[in-house]
A and B are shown apart, each in its own frame.
Chain A
Amino acid sequence: MKPKTILKIRKLVQFLFFVFFLVFCAGAVCAFNINETGVFACTLGALEVIIGSGTIYASLLITGAIMLVLTILVGRVFCSWICPFGAVIDYLELLIKRIHLKRADKLKANAVINPKTKYGVLIGTLAAAGIAKRPVFCAICPIGNTCRAAGMQGVMIGLETLFVPLFAGLSFIKERFWCRYLCPVGAVLALTDKLSVLRVKLPADTCIRCKRCENACPMGVNPWTKTHKRVKEDPAVIAALVENGTPDVLYRPIAFSTLPAEVADVVTATAKKGCKIPGGECIRCYECAAACPILNEGFTEKVDVVEEAAISA
């Protein structure tokens, strides 16, 4: 399947979940109440309740584990495929793109604050739950508030729902600001995602260095730098390059097929483990792969074809 199609499916799934949570369930999924223990909670909510109350509820363990299992199997898909607040941010992004807002430098991962801030927020959240004996964070959690916005709680209390536009508005500073720097739910999933099995893989041998992936990534993962640059700086690749007498050949506009065979073999071997986007920050949104002209158009090297024809003839 072409990544562009996957992206379309993701957007559809995201919209369906958004409608499901907001309209269909209308507050039934994250039915958080500050003095009660719900029957259904996200991983963070379950942890908060368990730490806060000091009791282990079997129902919460099960519902909390769903997201973790999903993340270990297919990665941090919750943030981009399921999360209703993620959908809100994505829809706001369409607007921000239209007005061409000048935001912080795109290529710097920690241009505003360090992405590791969210782990601090996670520790703070759990500590607050332990001290107050209640899941405090859930009161301001924009994800939960989005779920509850159209339900009885949202309509009745209302004020809580204001956290949704407040945190979503952070996107005016940087794309997916909340998810990238603050979200404690994302932090739990990011830690789990480091164990995940499936990763997004970018082409190694056919990369044309257009860096559209770098530009498309909403999480500032720098997919190209994290994959290709890592391959280039690999000690084995450097050794192969220098011993072959072409130290900077990978930095030039040269087709992969015209690389010296010794270098090409080492690069291919390194790329096998190196060309997957590392887990953690990647939310499997497929924006990078959908932006890649090679993955979508296919790579046909004219030079190569001619040479092969000549050999077979």
Chain B
Amino acid sequence: MATNVFANTVTVQGTIKTPGTYKAEENMSIITALFKLGGGSAKRAFKFAIVGGATGEVIEEYRFDTVVNTLDVEEPTIMGFDIGSCVVNTIRILTTYNYQKHGNVACLKELSEALTEMCDVDGEVSFEQFKALVEKAKEAAGEENKALIRPIVSALAVFPDEFMEHCDMKYCAGSCCETMYRTPCANACPADVDLPGTFALLQMGKPIESVALGRNDNPFLLTCGRICEDLPCQKFCLRQIIDKPVYTRSLHKYAGVKAAELAGSLDAALDYPALRPTTKTGKRVAVVGAGPAGLTCAYFLGRYGHEVVVYEAMSVGGGMMRVGIPDYRLPVELLNAEIDHICKMGVEIKYNMAMGKDFTLQQLRDEYDAVFVAIGAFKANRLNLPGDGSADIVTAVDFLYAGNLKREWPGLGKSVFVIGGGNVAVDCARVAWRLGADDIVMSCREEYHRMPATVDEIHHTEEEGIKIYPSYTPLDVNKDGDKYIVRIQKLPTRPEGEWRWDDPIPGEILEFKVDTVIAAIGQYADIDMLKEQGLEVTPRRTLKADFHTFETPMEGVFGGGDCVLSPRTAIEAVGTGKRAADTIHKYLCPGAKTGFPSMRKLMNNYVGEFTMKEAEQQLSYVDEVADRRDFHEAEQPYTDEQAFLEMKRCICSAKTGLRRMGE
């Protein structure tokens, strides 16, 4: 091995807060370099790093604890890349640079040209061709020029999917390859919602059409307008060049409110273009689970002309959107209106039919041509703490189910303790507050700024008087008569970038005496039932399915939603349902065209207005805290004035010259 290049100094570069050259530490890991020296990521979480400059090695985020000395590289340079980076584009630039600097050795010219084609929508390099080219380059490079193609080889080993998507699907996850998408937000949205188009139609004063354009891609547009969190569209918003991203969610909410006003009723507004399947294919598809993934899949399959029957174990539709999300965030009427509209596409929903109890997968496979399994993640992780009260800890799923549907929880009492720091935990705390509890405490292991719940939600939670104890781990739960005593212990603050916790600080223990303890520490799919039905499951407690086609190893059975992805956001489930519907359609009618014509003609060559003004109010107004104590919707929609300012802030509105989405 060459001499240690990291012996003296290290240069930390990339999308980090404080780039520069620093004195190297002994046995330094990438985490130390990027977080301690570089100050952490400037905006978003890291995706990968390249150690060793232009001839360096690509290291994935979860291997950031690698000690840099162990890598055989030439330059003492570490570049950090956040999730807005496209691996292929980065590698392309590095390869072009190497080619310019070193000339055409090790097939650098061919590689650079192939990569350039991969980053262009018209390029015709297939993944197999590219892999063969890299093998050829490896041979041509030999030992002496191995370094020049090291970025390509290591990137291909670490991110093969991303190269495949660029070659064969012409999809760039990082929204960097500009010809492959129309707007970064639509590219980032799992359901491909044409956000700028919806804003342009709003500007034109056509909210009904705006909703129709969005619902062409996402049948739960208005639902997502209330609950979409961690918005992918905002992360890639071009408006960040000027100030802050466009507040997309609130605009869709506004569009829904305005459309309902204009059309007279919500149902009339949703049914605007009166889309109905034109031709019947005669194929029958069963969908298991009426959640966001299942219903979206059913909606698109219905539009393709298949006969769809949805089996739902509960007595209500909507899955986790109905059960897991309290009514003050998502009004039931809105969700039901969108589900009713989906039923108009020739979709039948059979409630109170649970797989494994009322029917088996084999029966569905015999009766139908294809089956889509989207049972969601309804099994809650149990917290196995010491103490005699541990068995009585309520799981978040049970609590939200009862709290939401029945609006009661027997024996809730006045004081509640919620364990967990995600949005589910926040929902539990806020529902408990609305059910009459006054003294609510939340604790989570993460630091305050690293809590998984969204900032807005945490803010609203604190407004409602709920106390949050971050960086505390629960110790035990003991019974004390009717009450429970929860003890939590302080954890030391982790350095940035470190995801493992050290042992808690001895002595710093807090004690709470509460009536109910709720644990919201994650859910998983009912894998036992899936195994019984003969489906394969992964070690991650999810259903095994391909992430691009959503085929399971079982013929004619497809899977999507939380049970495949592990618990994620609603919009991601909608995206899987949409893509699975395309695959199922191709499976049922080989050679058939997938996708639906865009409704962009509604815009009639309108070029959106634009303003450089900064939005005055990014968030929707929220009711006074005292008025919030029931299940009515807390967040108010935009006023006309606010909405118009916000929608004009969109840079891409009415951008035509479309590639991926059809004109």
- Say whether A238 contacts B93, CB under 8 Å: yes
Task: Provide the residues of chain B in CB contact with A300, threshold 8 Å.
Answer: 612
Does chain A have a CB within 8 A of B564?
Answer: no
Q: Mark A146-162, 1 if CB is under 8 A from B, else 0.
A: 00000000000000000
User: A248 with B656: in contact, given A100-B604, A208-B238, A255-B241 (CB under 8 Å)?
Assistant: no
- Say whether B605 contacts A97, CB under 8 Å: yes
Which one of A10-18, A132-140, A239-247, A272-280 is at the B interface?
A239-247
Contact of B19 among A102, A215, A245, A248 (CB under 8 A): A245
- Say whether B663 contacts A245, CB under 8 Å: no
Contact of B663 among A102, A212, A229, A297 (CB under 8 A): A102
Q: Which residue of B lies closest to A254 (CB)?
A: B241
Contact of B652 among A210, A235, A238, A249 (CB under 8 A): A210
- Say whether B11 contacts A245, CB under 8 Å: yes
Q: Mark A72-109, 1 if CB is under 8 A from B, else 0.
A: 00000000000000000000000001101010001110
Does chain B have a CB within 8 A of A291?
Answer: yes
Task: Provide the residues of chain A in CB contact with B659, threshold 8 Å.
Answer: 107
Interface centre among B15, B81, B96, B241 (most CB of A within 10 A): B241
Complex alpha-carbon distance, A256 and B243, angstroms: 12
Q: Which residue of B lies closest to A102 (CB)?
A: B663
Does chain B have a CB within 8 A of A298?
Answer: yes
Contact of B93 among A102, A229, A248, A299 (CB under 8 A): A248
Contact of B657 among A107, A249, A256 (CB under 8 A): A107
Size class of the B contact interface (CB-based, 8 Å): 35 or more
Give A33-53 interface residues, CB cut-off 8 Å to B: none
- Say whether A242 contacts B14, CB under 8 Å: no
Give A231-269 interface residues, CB cut-off 8 Å to B: 233, 235, 238-239, 241-242, 244-249, 251-256, 260
Interface centre among A102, A208, A247, A301 (most CB of B within 10 A): A247
Does chain A have a CB within 8 A of B13?
Answer: yes
Q: Mark B232-244, 1 if CB is under 8 A from A, else 0.
A: 0000111111110
Q: Which residue of B lies closest to A260 (CB)?
A: B19
- Say whether B238 contacts A303, CB under 8 Å: no
- Say whether B89 contacts A253, CB under 8 Å: no
User: A210 with B93: in contact, given A245-B77, A253-B240 (CB under 8 Å)?
Assistant: no
Does chain A have a CB within 8 A of B601?
Answer: yes
- Say whether A245 contacts B79, CB under 8 Å: yes
Q: Which residue of B lies closest to A237 (CB)?
A: B93
- Say whether B657 contacts A106, CB under 8 Å: yes
- Say whether B242 contacts A301, CB under 8 Å: yes
Q: How far is the CB of A255 from chain B (nearest CB, A)?
A: 5
Q: How far is the CB of B287 from chain A (nearest CB, A)?
A: 34
User: A298 with B657: in contact, given A212-B607, A245-B79 (CB under 8 Å)?
Assistant: no
Q: How far is the CB of B255 from chain A (nearest CB, A)?
A: 21
Contact of B90 among A247, A256, A293 (CB under 8 A): A247
Q: Which residue of A lies closest to B93 (CB)?
A: A247
- Say whether B240 contacts A248, CB under 8 Å: no
Complex alpha-carbon distance, A31 and B179, angstroms: 48
Q: How far is the CB of A171 from chain B (nearest CB, A)?
A: 15
Contact of A251 among B178, B243, B651, B656 (CB under 8 A): B178
Q: How far is the CB of B366 from chain A (nearest CB, A)?
A: 45
- Say whether A246 contacts B14, CB under 8 Å: yes
User: A209 with B176: in contact, given A247-B94, A253-B237, A302-B614 (CB under 8 Å)?
Assistant: no
Task: Provide the residues of chain B in CB contact with A255, threshold 8 Å.
Answer: 240-242
Q: How far is the CB of B215 from chain A (nearest CB, A)?
A: 21
Task: Provide the residues of chain B in CB contact with A102, threshold 8 Å.
Answer: 663
User: A242 with B97: in contact, given A215-B657, A253-B184, A301-B242 (CB under 8 Å)?
Assistant: yes
Does chain B have a CB within 8 A of A201?
Answer: no
Q: Which residue of B lies closest to A239 (CB)?
A: B97
- Say whether B243 contacts A303, CB under 8 Å: yes
Does chain B have a CB within 8 A of A281?
Answer: no
Q: How far is the CB of A210 from chain B (nearest CB, A)?
A: 5
Task: Provide the residues of chain A in CB contact with B242, threshold 8 Å.
Answer: 208, 255, 299, 301-302
Does chain B have a CB within 8 A of A211?
Answer: yes
Q: Mark A200-219, 1 if CB is under 8 A from B, else 0.
A: 00000000111110111000
- Say whether A242 contacts B93, CB under 8 Å: yes
Complex alpha-carbon distance, A46 and B256, angstroms: 64
Q: Which residue of B lies closest to A236 (CB)?
A: B100
Task: Provide the residues of chain B in CB contact with A97, threshold 8 Å.
Answer: 605
Q: Mark B91-135, 1 if CB is under 8 A from A, else 0.
A: 001101100110000000000000000000010000000000000
Q: How far is the CB of A219 from chain B (nearest CB, A)?
A: 14
Q: Mark B454-478, 1 if CB is under 8 A from A, else 0.
A: 0000000000000000000000000
Q: Which residue of B lies closest to A303 (CB)?
A: B243
Q: Which residue of B lies closest to A229 (CB)?
A: B178
| Chain A interface helix/strand/loop/mixed | loop
Task: Provide the residues of chain B in CB contact with A299, threshold 8 Å.
Answer: 242, 612
- Say whether A297 contacts B611, CB under 8 Å: yes
- Say whether B178 contacts A238, CB under 8 Å: no
Task: Provide the residues of chain B in CB contact with A209, threshold 8 Å.
Answer: 178, 238, 241, 651
Q: How far is the CB of B180 from chain A (nearest CB, A)?
A: 12
Q: How far is the CB of B78 from chain A (nearest CB, A)?
A: 8
- Say whether A235 contacts B100, CB under 8 Å: yes
- Say whether B241 contacts A248, CB under 8 Å: no
- Say whether A106 contacts B97, CB under 8 Å: no
Does chain A have a CB within 8 A of B39?
Answer: no
- Say whether A238 contacts B657, CB under 8 Å: no
Q: How far is the CB of B501 from chain A (nearest CB, A)?
A: 31
- Say whether B96 contacts A238, CB under 8 Å: yes
Task: Provide the residues of chain A in CB contact with B84, threshold 8 Å.
Answer: 252-253
Task: Provide the residues of chain A in CB contact with B97, threshold 8 Å.
Answer: 238-239, 242, 247
Does chain A have a CB within 8 A of B154?
Answer: no
Task: Provide the residues of chain A in CB contact with B53, threshold 8 Å.
Answer: 242, 245
Task: Provide the residues of chain B in CB contact with A302, threshold 8 Å.
Answer: 242-243, 614
Q: Which residue of A lies closest to B182 (CB)?
A: A211
Q: Mark B242-265, 1 if CB is under 8 A from A, else 0.
A: 110000000000000000000000
- Say whether A210 contacts B14, CB under 8 Å: no
- Say whether A246 contacts B612, CB under 8 Å: no
Task: Provide the residues of chain B in CB contact with A100, threshold 8 Å.
Answer: 601, 604-605
User: A106 with B612: in contact, given A238-B93, A242-B94 (CB under 8 Å)?
Assistant: no
- Say whether A239 contacts B77, CB under 8 Å: no
Q: How far is the CB of A263 from chain B (nearest CB, A)?
A: 11
Complex alpha-carbon distance, A267 and B614, angstroms: 27
Q: How far is the CB of A244 from chain B (nearest CB, A)?
A: 7
Contact of B610 among A233, A238, A260, A297 (CB under 8 A): A297
- Say whether B15 contacts A246, CB under 8 Å: yes
Q: Mark B559-574, 1 if CB is under 8 A from A, else 0.
A: 0000000000000000
Complex alpha-carbon distance, A239 and B238, angstroms: 25
Q: Mark B602-626, 1 if CB is under 8 A from A, else 0.
A: 0011010011101000000000000
Contact of B85 among A229, A233, A248 (CB under 8 A): A248
- Say whether A246 contacts B86, CB under 8 Å: no
Does chain A have a CB within 8 A of B54?
Answer: yes
Complex alpha-carbon distance, A241 and B100, angstroms: 13
Task: Provide the residues of chain A in CB contact with B122, threshold 8 Å.
Answer: 108
Q: Which residue of A lies closest to B611 (CB)?
A: A297
Q: How far is the CB of A230 from chain B (nearest CB, A)?
A: 13
User: A214 with B657: in contact, given A238-B96, A302-B614 (CB under 8 Å)?
Assistant: yes
Q: Mark B580-609, 1 if CB is under 8 A from A, else 0.
A: 000000000000000000000100110100
Known: A233-B96, A255-B242, A293-B610. 19 other contacts (CB 8 A): A100-B601, A100-B604, A108-B122, A209-B241, A210-B651, A210-B655, A212-B607, A215-B607, A229-B178, A245-B19, A246-B13, A247-B90, A251-B178, A253-B238, A253-B240, A254-B240, A255-B240, A260-B19, A302-B242
Q: Measuring CB to CB, which residues of chain A are less than 8 angstroms from any residue of chain B?
A: 97-98, 100, 102, 106-108, 208-212, 214-216, 229, 233, 235, 238-239, 241-242, 244-249, 251-256, 260, 291, 293, 297-303
8 contacts between A and B (CB under 8 A): A106-B656, A208-B242, A210-B651, A211-B657, A245-B53, A254-B240, A297-B611, A302-B243
Counting from the closest, the 8 A-B pairs by CB-CB distance are A245-B13, A251-B176, A247-B93, A293-B610, A242-B97, A253-B240, A215-B657, A245-B79
